[in-house]
Amino acid sequence: MKKILSLMMFFLLVFSVVGCSKKDNTYGDVQGNKAVEKEFVKIVGLKGPTSIGMIKMFEEKPFLGENLDSSYEIAGSPDILVSKLLSKEVDFAALPTNVAAKLYNKEAGYEMAAINTWGVLYVMTQGETIKTWEDLKGKKINAIAKGSTPDVAFRYLLEKNGLDPEKDVTLDYTFNHVELAQAMIAGKVNIAVLPEPFVTMVSMKNKEATVAMNIQEEWENALGENAAIAQGCLVVRKDFAQKHPDAVKNFLDEYEKSINWVNENKEEAGKLIEKHGIGMKAKIAELAIPRCNIAFKDAQNAKETVQKYLKVLYDFSPKDVGGKLPDENFYYNQQ
């Protein structure tokens, strides 16, 4: 009898441990006696201006839907982010629009859901008076990363304004963006094409340096109606969007609110940008926000503008958009 009782106690103990183990490995709530598994929504932003508009969501992690939890993180480089996207471990991501086009053309399984950043590029000068494109003729201009999208945009505008990038100006790609900003601060460079937040960094430390040209405005002047530098976007994983259309709607609604909040609360946004590792100190972020041109426009409403932008990049270098222009299915259509 004692042996039987001992065996019964042993099996009860084993089953209770197994039961506890199963319960601990189930991620979710318990409703009645049934565990309801939760799905984890992963959101990743690229370090830099492209992720500024999402910063309030990083802080608050707004509700996206029943049984959905979310995590937010920053990827330190495009290569890191692309690797995560190719592995399909990310549900939403903020990244350059041309990179999104490349991923789409690789059939990575992501659609463009919205544009978030409309260009962050400026021509800065010191010791030079530059008011028109003609004023750049014969000048040495320091630029960054030959063949990059900022470089393509600037070279395109030189051509549109009657200047041959190979003959009428001297483009110097010696410095990366950090080095170029430092050289401008030190007074070693007279004309530079720089993105935010480096424009703000230079302006804060060298009062002689000024913004001579707003490349975003020049782009609109050159291309006309519905033209803009649709530089940064939000993508959504296609499988996730099909499974959770309401969650995508909730996310986009919250994203638009976050972008509006950033533009209206620059000081508070700056503090969150520094806190969450977007890549800027609070004060620099606060002052840079107006020139980062952060605004929300969903994919369908931004489509014509994005198509114009990608066509310019494609005409200069097809590989910059993945070898071909993305088709209609690139643009997420919210049902």
DSSP 229-290: ---EEEEEEHHHHHH-HHHHHHHHHHHHHHHHHHHH-HHHHHHHHHHTTSSS-HHHHHHHGG
Is 209 found in the same domain as 80?
no
Residues 60, 103 share a domain: yes
- Model confidence pLDDT, tens digit, residues 232-271: 999 999 999 999 999 999 999 999 999 999 999 999 999 9
pLDDT band at 34 (very low <50, low <70, confident <90, very high): low
With beta carbons less than 8 A apart as the criterion, state whether 262 and 269 touch: yes
Q: Are residues 214 and 259 in the same domain?
A: no
| pLDDT band (50, 70, 90) for residue 226 | confident
Q: What is the per-residue pLDDT for 79? A: 96
In a domain, 158, yes or no: yes
CB contact at 8 A, 208 and 187: yes
259 occurs within a structural domain: yes
CA distance 188 to 180: 9
Any domain includes 10? no
CA distance 143 to 146: 8
The arithmetic mean of pLDDT across residues 81-99, rounded, is 98
pLDDT over 60 at 26, yes or no: no
**Domain contains 49:** yes
89 with 100, same domain: the answer is yes
160 and 238 share one domain? no
Do 219 and 258 lie in one domain? The reply is no
Inform me whether the pLDDT recorded for 28 exceeds 70.
no
Same domain, yes or no: 161 and 209: yes
Final residue before a domain boundary, out of 205, 223, 241: 223
Do residues 134 and 203 both lie within one domain? yes
Give pLDDT tens digits for 284-330.
999 999 999 999 999 999 999 999 999 999 999 999 999 999 999 99
Q: What is the mean pLDDT of the chain?
A: 91
- Total domains in the fold of the chain: 2
Looking at 190, 205, 223, the residue that finishes a domain is 223
* 144-151 contacts, C-beta under 8 A, 24 or more apart: 144/173, 144/175, 144/176, 144/177, 144/180, 144/193, 144/194, 144/195, 145/173, 145/176, 145/177, 146/171, 146/173, 147/317, 147/320, 149/96, 149/98, 149/231, 149/313, 149/320, 150/121, 150/193, 150/195, 151/193
pLDDT in tens, 129-154: 999 999 999 999 999 999 999 999 99
Per-residue 3-state assignment (H helix, E strand, C coil) for 211-242: EEEEHHHHHHHHHCCCCCCCCEEEEEEHHHHH
Q: Quick check: is 16 in a domain?
A: no
The domain of 214 spans 121-223
127 & 218 share domain: yes
Task: Report yes or no on 319 lying in a domain.
Answer: yes
As a whole-number percent, the residues of the chain with pLDDT over 90 amount to 87
One domain, residues 325 and 242? yes
Domain termination residue (choose one: 173, 202, 223) = 223
DSSP states along 42-56: EEEEESSGGGGGGHH
* 6 part of a folded domain: no
Average pLDDT over residues 189-204: 98
Pairing mode, if any, of strands 34-37 and 170-172?
A: unpaired
Does residue 90 belong to any structural domain of this protein? yes
What pLDDT score does 306 carry? 98
User: Is 234 in the same domain as 283?
Assistant: yes
Check whether 20 has a pLDDT greater than 60. Answer: no
In CATH, what number is assigned to the domain containing residue 294? 3.40.190.10
Q: Is the pLDDT at 196 greater than 80, yes or no?
A: yes
Query: Residue 90's closest CA among 45, 129, 47, 125?
Result: 45
Residue 122 has pLDDT above 70, yes or no: yes
| Weakest-pLDDT range from 7-21, 23-37, 52-66, 199-213 | 7-21
Among 12-16, 195-199, 226-230, 296-300, which is the least confidently predicted range? 12-16
Burial track 42-74 (b if 16+ CB lie within 10 A, e otherwise): bbbbbbbbbbbbbbbbbbeeeebbeebebebeb
97 and 180 share one domain: no
